[in-house]
Chains A and B, each alone.
Chain A
Amino acid sequence: MTRANLILLVLITCIAALPLFGGAYTLRLGTIACMYAIMALSWNVVGGFAGYPSFATAAFFGLGAYIGGVLLARGLPLTAAIPIAGIGSFLVAALLGAALLRLRGHYFAIASLSLIEVFRELVNNATDLTGGGMGLNIPLTASAGVMADATFFFYLMWGVLLVTAVMVIAVSMSKLGFGLSCIMQNETAANMVGLNTTLYKSIAFGLSACFVGAAGGVYAAWVHYIDPSDVFDILYSVKPIVMALIGGLGSPLGVTIGAFVYLGLEEVVWRNYIQIHSGVLGVLIVLLLLFLPHGLTSLRGWRLWGRAKNV
């Protein structure tokens, strides 16, 4: 295991101590931080490792939220609903991936973007099952007070984050990860030397959807109310990309730190400029892309304590 991956695991373990220090607000932030990290890490599998510009994160987040939400509303326990949300998202993504991932570049980007629209419209129109535009109420679990709830959902989201991180590290060390980086560098050549690129890409797409879907399920249970325009928000697709760009594409540690940095910025902007927060976010994205396209890790001094590479 590389040093960066070890640091990532240590970092995530440290986050588990958060309930010792903060109140309900800190825990809420912590839960969102874990959710963002899950999204960024998951996106990194298909966007960072395989180099496919996927804008489908929101589609699978919403899908997972609705699978989880509908099951919970039907009375299934949380322990069943969330794994089903994850596995369901994995299957849907892997199947769709087999078709969509034949597209490259701009065409893939557009197709993955429209996936959000398709899912949103489907959910919107399946009023009997999902409540359509009225949204879906998810019954409260037996609550033991605000703090207990906040702590419970924080650990739930944290657990998903831990599993995601382990998955991403496992992928990066396995033959799958190697195959994905081959695909990123030259897909045609990878195909030529006998790599089953379609299978690899589909698995990567499925894995990138799986934990986002599970996080969606947790989110639905956490906020107790979801509606299509909330969970199928295209921002959920763009945010992970911005996080990955902040932290540096491809590195699991980088994108996780990117997610935390992004959340910090977002929170500061939200608190101070509520009316223009999305505009400020836009300015942030533009400045980031223009002046820091390789992320924070490209800043000089970052690797001061690292071993010198053969420069």
Chain B
Amino acid sequence: MLAAQILINALVLGCLYACIAIGFSLVWGVLNVINLIHGSFIVLGAYLAWSLYQGLHISPWYSLAVAAPLFFAFGYVIQRLILNRVITAPVLVTLTLTFGLDLILNNAMIYYFKADYRKLTLTPPMGSVSIFDVVVPVDRLIATVAALALTFVLYLILRRLRVGRAIVAVRLDRDAAVLMGVNVNSIYAIAFGLGAALAGCAGVLMALIFPISPLTSTAYLGKAFVVCVLGGLGSVSGALAGGILLALIEGVGSAMIGPAHATTLSFVLLIVFLILRPQGLLGRKGFE
């Protein structure tokens, strides 16, 4: 039964990991920017859910609807005003710039929310379900379903909507997209906004499960790195596969060699993957 429990845990956690990573992956794939603010966006989303719940008793499920447009606007403006000025610069510049932005946002959060760990505790608690001997907390289960739904929404946007097709086109070949009349700057801003919105929503879901503190942002960012590299850049299915794979490896690794080494294992795996299969599990070669 232990194996089944580990498997279920990994599936649940994997969907959440995918949700963390998908926005990061989108921005990296489309804008070619390693977006280090992503972790702080997630934490900010968690704080949004926490504040709304504490202050106005708005359930986190409704907070999702608040977070998405708010973070989209936030991301859109940051990309338009700041990031867009260096978008063609080498990775050194864009990465350092997003690091600077991350310092600002993170410091602002420490300043306003303090560095204390907080927890959004639903009253009454939602309990857990057990099928045979496999136990899953209900809030975690719902968060997983929501994460899957968000991922699916992004998939639909990229597949069905005109703007989504334009995003994919820019990702595949920027110059050709320009020639076809796509306004690249606007697509960049929309993609960055979408990435931020997904991070914010992921943060709302994380608030239900993990403690909230500005200091956790690097852990989320680290997960996003690993998932992205495992699954392959920019694709929704890749992020899902990478997330579940990472959660599985962490779960099995924790059970076998102890939870202390789970993070080490995931980063070693990241480096190995980068060297042996930089296009990721589902990525195609030369498709970057």
Q: How large is the interface on A (under 10, 10 to 19, 20 to 34, 35 or more residues)?
A: 35 or more
Report yes or no: B99 in contact with A103, Cβ–Cβ below 8 A: no
Q: Complex formed: what's the CA distance from A285 to B92 in Å?
A: 12
- Whether B34 and A110, one on each chain, are in contact in the complex, defined by CB atoms closer than 8 angstroms, is yes
Interface size class of B (residues with CB under 8 A): 35 or more
State the Cβ distance, B204 to closest chain A Cβ, in Å: 24
Which residues of chain A in 110-150 are interfacial with respect to chain B, using CB atoms and an 8 Å cutoff? 110-111, 113-115, 117-118, 121-122, 124-125
Binary interface encoding of chain B residues 254-287 relative to chain A, with 1 for a CB under 8 A from any of its CBs, else 0:
0000001101100110110011001000000000
CA distance A121 to B226 in the complex (A): 15
A-B contact number at CB 8 A: 118
Contact with A along B210-228 (1 / 0, CB 8 A): 0000000010001001100
Q: Chain A residues with Cβ under 8 A from B34's Cβ?
A: 106, 109-110
Q: Is B106 an interface residue (CB 8 A)?
A: yes
Cα A39 to Cα B263 in complex, Å, equals 27
Complex interface: stretch among A73-81, A215-223, A238-246: A238-246
Residues of B contacting A: mostly? helix
Q: Are A110 and B225 in contact (CB under 8 A)?
A: yes
Contact at A284–B100, with CB atoms within 8 Å? yes
Contact: B225 with A282, CB < 8 Å? no
Q: Which residues of B contact A245 (CB under 8 A)?
A: 93, 96
Q: Does B32 contact A (CB under 8 A)?
A: yes
Residues of A within 8 A of B267 (CB): 114, 117-118, 121
Q: Is B104 an interface residue (CB 8 A)?
A: yes
Contact A102 B275 (CB under 8 A): yes
Q: A111-B271, A241-B96 are in contact. List 11 more A-B contacts (CB 8 A).
A: A100-B274, A107-B229, A109-B95, A111-B270, A114-B225, A281-B100, A282-B101, A284-B100, A289-B86, A290-B85, A293-B89
10 A-B pairs within 8 Å (CB atoms) are namely: A53-B90, A53-B91, A102-B275, A110-B270, A110-B274, A114-B222, A121-B263, A279-B106, A282-B105, A285-B97
